[in-house]
Amino acid sequence: MTFLHPEYLKLGWALLAFAVWCGFSLRALQKARRRLGGALYSLASRPSSLVRRSVHILLLLGVLGCLILALARPQRAGYRRVAGFRHIDAVILLDSSPSMSARDIEPSRLVRSTEVIGSFLNRKPAGDRIGLISFAENALVLSYLTADADNILFYLAYLRDQDALQYGTNIGGALKSGMTLFTRQGEREPETRGNKKVVILLSDGEDHGEELNAEMREMAGRGIPAYCVGIGSQRGVPVPISATEYLSGPGGAPILTTFDESTLREVASTTGGRYYSARTASELDRAFQDIFVKAREIAGYRQVRETREDYGVLLGAAFVLALIRVAS
């Protein structure tokens, strides 16, 4: 046992002196009673007897002793094994095709996705790095892997405000861009190669490309899982192209976008990731939080020294002894 403030233990000498003085006082009182004889001897059975005084003094010494030890702050040291986790390098592939403008998730699939990503970035562990790629028919690297949340937040705001429509959805091309980003950044920063690599794909699942199968096999071979979040409802919804206009086909009939989760399930299963269905804004937020729990891996353990404070027990003991003294 150690003490945080051992200087207060010096008060023990004062307590010892007080105890010696009390002992001499009780002995002197005892001798006086013997000299005075039976008149005072008969008082021994009363509440003010010598025995009662002795008990009161012992209780008082106990209270003072507990308080002195509490002031010294006794501590007991121990060790606890704590897991150390690998940092995560996550590339977010965000579908920015026209179907992501659908409003079955308010204010739209794309806007809600950027809001959830931004909310997570404000709470992410400091050592994790995030990259951002938007894709439709073609993929665009908006941000390389960075621990700077403000950099990603800037590009998320850009995606929310963009007006230009990019038709088509090429999930395979987006996966390929993500793999290329990992490769190039790993070559420039070899010290980060030990980080856990994951891909987070947010899309409504419609794929019109031809590269998907090859890219899924490459990701599985490199041990990089894809966590896929399917955004949207099962019902077909129109695709807005302006505040009042919708994407239409021949004859002016509106084109409805559908939610295809089969493609996303296949990507997650083939690469060793997991699929999440997000039909509401709250489900989207829960999915994103769960991904970083499932993807995190333990890198090792370390011993952490902990100290336990015992002054509370001593204060409790002093209080109990004081109550007994008052009641007796």
Walking along the chain (328 residues) 10 residues at a time, the average pLDDT comes out as 87 90 84 66 53 86 90 86 84 89 83 88 86 92 92 90 72 94 91 90 79 92 93 72 64 69 92 88 82 77 81 89 84
In a shared domain, residues 104 and 248: yes
Residue 301 lies in a domain: no
Phi/psi region, residue 68 (left: phi>0; alpha: psi -120 to 50; beta: rest), is alpha
Residue 107 lies in a domain: yes
Rg (alpha carbons) of the chain, rounded to whole number: 37
The SS3 call for residue 198 is strand
Cβ atoms of 124 and 292 closer than 8 Å:
yes
CA 177-179-183 angle, to 5 degrees, is 115
Cβ atoms of 169 and 209 closer than 8 Å:
yes
In a shared domain, residues 125 and 75: no
Residue 191 lies in a domain: yes
Query: What is the strand order of the sheet 74-85 is part of?
Result: 2-3, 74-85, 298-309
Residue 286 lies in a domain: yes
Cβ atoms of 88 and 196 closer than 8 Å:
yes
The Cα 139–Cα 167 span in angstroms is 12
The CATH number assigned to the domain holding 161 equals 3.40.50.410
In a shared domain, residues 255 and 128: yes
Token output for 102 = 């659908």
The SS3 call for residue 63 is helix
Write down the residue that tokens 């094994």 correspond to: 81
Range of the domain at 268: 87-296
Residue 108 lies in a domain: yes
Secondary structure element (H or E) that encloses residue 263, with its range: helix 261-271
The Cα 277–Cα 233 span in angstroms is 9
Number of domains in the chain: 2
In a shared domain, residues 38 and 106: no
pLDDT, position 40? 47
The SS3 call for residue 138 is coil
In a shared domain, residues 214 and 286: yes
Cβ atoms of 89 and 178 closer than 8 Å:
no
In a shared domain, residues 274 and 147: yes
The Cα 143–Cα 269 span in angstroms is 27
In a shared domain, residues 321 and 216: no
pLDDT, position 44? 47
pLDDT, position 255? 66
CA 130-115-205 angle, to 5 degrees, is 80
| Residues across the chain | 328
In a shared domain, residues 110 and 43: no
In a shared domain, residues 71 and 96: no
Residue 265 lies in a domain: yes
In a shared domain, residues 164 and 101: yes
In a shared domain, residues 117 and 144: yes
Annotate 284-320 with three-state secondary structure: HHHHHHHHHHHCCCEEEEEEEEEEEECHHHHHHHHHH
Q: Which residues contact 151 (CB under 8 A, 6 or more apart)?
A: 143
Strands (E), 27-180: 74-85, 88-95, 129-135, 139-146
User: Could you tell me the pTM of the whole model?
Assistant: 0.66
DSSP symbol at 251 = G
Cβ atoms of 95 and 204 closer than 8 Å:
yes
**Sign of the alpha-carbon torsion through 16, 21, 24, 26:** negative
Token output for 93 = 């592939």
In a shared domain, residues 145 and 63: no
Q: Which residues contact 157 (CB under 8 A, 6 or more apart)?
A: 114
Residue 137 lies in a domain: yes
